[in-house]
Structure 1
Amino acid sequence: MTTAAPDTDGRVTVWDIDLAPAAAHRDACLALLSDDERARTSRFLRDEDRLRYAASHAALRLVLGHRLRTDPRGLAFGTGRAGKPHLAGVWAGSCRFSLSHSGSRALVGLSASAEIGVDVEEMRPMPDLLRIARAHFAASEIADLDSLAPDRLTPAFFACWTRKEAVVKATGEGLSLPLDSFSVSVSPAKAVLLSMPGGAREWSLHTLPTAPGYAAALAVAAADAGFVRRALPPDWPDRIAAPSQQGR
């Protein structure tokens, strides 16, 4: 992985975000969102889901505002055919992005031109992991998971799951791309896109370092694409009032 550098040089950047500090700044996060985003926030039944949505989308706006050197409140978004979000208005086409959140973590991936997908999942005990894999994964992935000792199964399953979700997000095809139509490695140590409709050579797949207890992955629709990892500082919700200070 490359070392930290400015995000304006065209490389892929992934921001790792701790959402926990946003709990004390709920109103500030909501104030940063659009009317539509606030309406979506209110539709979640559980308070923790409302907070996670508001905080992650506020963080997305901060990160994009930093990348584009603009007020994050003025950003506008649209969605593609299968629901993939993109920048709209005067910023349309200026940057590709992907957002994922789970538990108290969020990831934002940014790319100047190549389509990108990120996924993060909180790893939790799931007694039916193999049943889920057999119902959704490719045959080679199922065989690899079947061969593992029980203590290695959970991290391998989540490594596989996040990689597949990251690829699906990067394609923008959503549910129209079946999860068993392509295959990835299941070893947590190394991410490899093994097969893909149209070929896997023009893709890059990475395991992302993040907080303990989480699995995360990055997919880029470009060959040999590296990435820069950055993290929002712990006081990032305090900076909503002064977005120009974010990232310093």
Structure 2
Amino acid sequence: MIDPLNSWNSPPKDLKLESNEIHVWRVFLAQTVSCLQSLQQTLSTDERTKAERFYFQKDRSQSIVSRGALRAILSRYLDLDPSTLRFGYNPYGKPSLIAEQGGDTLRFNLSHSHGLALIAITKNRNIGIDLESIRTDFPCQQIAESFFSPLENAVLRSLPLHLQHKAFFTCWTRKEAYIKAVGKGLSIPLDRFDVTLAPGEPAALLNFQENPQEVSRWSLFELIPGSELVATLALEGSRCQLLCWQWQYSSLANP
């Protein structure tokens, strides 16, 4: 059982990842110039090129910090220089470490929104995470009708208007975290499976039309990373211990 009222603590110096643990790191994407420059030096050519494609400097900086922090965090578990890490991608675009650097064992997933990133890490099982900012100007019912299942739409419409936006983004993160964990992207239609979304209802995969056995294979957990933000962790299996860490530049990277 995972308590959604997460406490985001500083990691210990002798950080270890046990086989039954999930570590979720919270990263604030607004960082100092010195941090930004240091992290940029660890990025691959492709990662730097991707960051440079953003029109606004804020978006370029956040791309650098999210990828740089990911490298810094993974390097701590692997005892490798962050700049030496190499990533591969499956046919649907899900990233992983190459096998020679522990990709067969160490699994991770990343999501970012509204100046914040969450990075989930575990061993020997698939994992997905999604983070969204609750936007009250978003056409929730219109989008839900296109992407949510009939059951989810019925639940959403039954809620008072002031609860619908949070319920929509809660549902969205649960569906996104699941398909990210599976690693097949939007080749899995979002309206072909049901998740919980009502206020106070534990995160769960309720039904998968093509493969009902998926319900017992996966666990969903609610995370609370900050005010007006919702997040979901999807994990293959069920028995686990969640530890939430607050990333600090000085804790994982040399200034």
TM over 0.5: yes
Give the Å deviation of 1:216.
0.5
Q: Does 1:90 align with 2:100?
A: yes
1:9 alignment partner in structure 2: 18
Of residues 90-99 and 73-82 in structure 1, the stretch that sits farther from structure 2 once superposed is: 90-99
1:171-196 deviations in whole A, cap 9, x for unaligned?
Answer: 11011011111111003532111112
Equivalent position amino acid for 2:22 in 1: V
Q: Once the two structures are aligned, what percentage of the paired residues are identical?
A: 34
Of residues 108-117 and 20-29 in structure 1, the stretch that sits farther from structure 2 once superposed is: 20-29
How do 1:185-196 and structure 2 match up within 5 A?
A: 185-189=196-200, 190-196=202-208
Aligned-partner Cα distance in 2 for 1:94–1:101: 24
Cα 1:192–1:226 shift into 2, 3 Å: farther
Give unmatched runs, 5+ long, in structure 1. 243-248
- Equivalent residues of 1:86, 1:96 under 8 A apart: yes
2:89 alignment partner in structure 1: 79
Cα 1:111–1:155 shift into 2, 3 Å: same
Aligned-partner Cα distance in 1 for 2:148–2:16: 34
1:61-110 deviations in whole A, cap 9, x for unaligned?
Answer: 11111122222111100100111001015213131110101111100011
Cα 1:117–1:188 shift into 2, 3 Å: farther
Cα 1:241–1:152 shift into 2, 3 Å: same
Give the Å deviation of 1:237.
6.0
1:51 alignment partner in structure 2: 61
Aligned-partner Cα distance in 1 for 2:105–2:240: 18
Q: How many residues align?
A: 240
2:153 alignment partner in structure 1: 142
TM-score (ref. length: structure 2): 0.87
Equivalent position amino acid for 1:108 in 2: I
- Among residues 40, 60, 68, which one is paired with 2:50 in the alignment? 40
Q: Does 1:219 align with 2:231?
A: no
Of residues 219-228 and 78-87 in structure 1, the stretch that sits farther from structure 2 once superposed is: 219-228
TM-score (ref. length: structure 1): 0.89
- Equivalent residues of 1:119, 1:162 under 8 A apart: yes
Q: Does 1:241 align with 2:251?
A: no
Q: Does 1:178 align with 2:178?
A: no
Give the Å deviation of 1:24.
5.9
- Equivalent residues of 1:16, 1:232 under 8 A apart: yes
